[in-house]
Structure 1
């Protein structure tokens, strides 16, 4: 992206601001972005009203900006400005709550510089972004970032997949029969089929092959097959 864009960074930590500034300057996709700092939500409103911005980055890693204040800010302005939340929180309910406030993206503060630059470039271009590392956390414990599945296309439904549904789908992906799963989880075969149907419907998986591909993409397999 070659245009000059003004990005507002809301953080109470100077090291976060200067680190972010350095990252954006060192990637071609964000080299022309101007980073403006605000140390509070109140100051952010002032910058938005007086200077104008093209995108907003919010640091809600601890200690720092109050997440609840940031969500209130998001509810107020997210329809006018794309907001990328950079957070230490990976709990599904927090991620879901943030997206319900119409934010454009959610990135973990532990993300590598390349992911940070990519996330900023995407939200500035009007696209959504979800840290790939969050997808296994949302749909069950995993070990690798997703492949073909677009995280944004599954996050809403994935958050609502229950642990028991994940347990059943994982075993199906590994090739277990309904009878074997029932024995392993101490369920009836009818219950296994019910959990399979519910979980697959939430994730839009139509067949066993779809379940296997999804399991591979979100890291349910410890090793590649």
Structure 2
């Protein structure tokens, strides 16, 4: 590491996963975990109070998303290095994370091999994006043409079911997980997705994510879902 000791704050609403990350960091010479928080609102207070060198944070959390926390920290002038540790594997999230002020983006499933590299990279003043998220930008998708996307707060006539299906897809859930979370059949999930996408002119998961980010769907408090998968460090 570039410094003799790197002070880290850990923000994640999964206690078991947070414990695993704490154990990983605790076994690494030169790293000290100075505090933890389980949601975005407490994260702000923790970072401003403990002034860590690096904050490791999930994107999707109750109350206040990691993206909102990152923006708030930059607005108050915090220079903390931000590394997002997330299950979200859509490139649209990487762009949004870096724009919000993060320097690192690591997938939870590769944390065991990539997190320490990310911490070192950001402390040295660089950026780190998980190897699986470094694919070159795809050429413009000509199939994306469609009705103009509604402005924030205007949801293009979506029904409540269509909105919820698209929101959960934007959060990274599979069709099966959406089906379990909403207690509806997979066929119904597919129907609501198709109808919602047609109304909004969306043709891919990336476009759904971008729309959800623009609408602020990922900034609002999300209910804890029974189908939530326990993440793993490996």
TM-score range, shorter chain: 0.5 to 0.7
Stretch of structure 1 that moved more, 42-51 or 66-75: 66-75
Which SS does the other structure have where 2:55 is aligned? strand
Q: What aligned pairs does 1:13-52 form with structure 2 within 5 A after superposition?
A: 13-28=14-29, 31-52=30-51
What is the RMSD computed on CA atoms of the aligned residues?
A: 2.3
Distance, in Å, in 2 between the alignment partners of 1:120 and 1:16 is: 18
Residue 65 of structure 1 pairs with residue 61 of structure 2: yes
Would the alpha carbon gap of residues 48 and 112 (structure 1) be closer, same or farther in structure 2, given more than 3 Å must change?
A: closer
Q: Is the 8 A contact 1:58 1:83 kept in 2?
A: yes
Q: What aligned pairs does 1:153-168 form with structure 2 within 5 A after superposition?
A: 158=137, 161-163=139-141
The match for 1:76 is 72
Would the alpha carbon gap of residues 38 and 54 (structure 1) be closer, same or farther in structure 2, given more than 3 Å must change?
A: same
Q: What aligned pairs does 1:85-164 form with structure 2 within 5 A after superposition?
A: 85-136=84-135, 139=136, 158=137, 161-163=139-141
Q: Is the 8 A contact 1:71 1:98 kept in 2?
A: yes
Higher-Rg structure is: 1
TM-score by length of 2: 0.53
Distance, in Å, in 2 between the alignment partners of 1:52 and 1:22 is: 21
Distance, in Å, in 2 between the alignment partners of 1:98 and 1:67 is: 18
Q: Deviations over 1:117-162 (max 9, x none)?
A: 11122223322100011123xx3xxxxxxxxxxxxxxxxxx26x32
The match for 1:4 is 5
Q: Which runs of 5+ in 1 are unaligned?
A: 140-157, 165-225
Q: Is the 8 A contact 1:87 1:109 kept in 2?
A: yes
Q: Deviations over 1:17-75 (max 9, x none)?
A: 211122223344xx433252111111112212322211111123xxx615962212111
Q: Is the 8 A contact 1:54 1:124 kept in 2?
A: yes
Q: Which runs of 5+ in 2 are unaligned?
A: 143-234
**Which structure has more RCO (C-alpha within 8 Å, separation ≥ 6)?**
2
Q: Is the 8 A contact 2:55 2:83 kept in 1?
A: yes
TM-score by length of 1: 0.54
Give the number of aligned pairs. 138
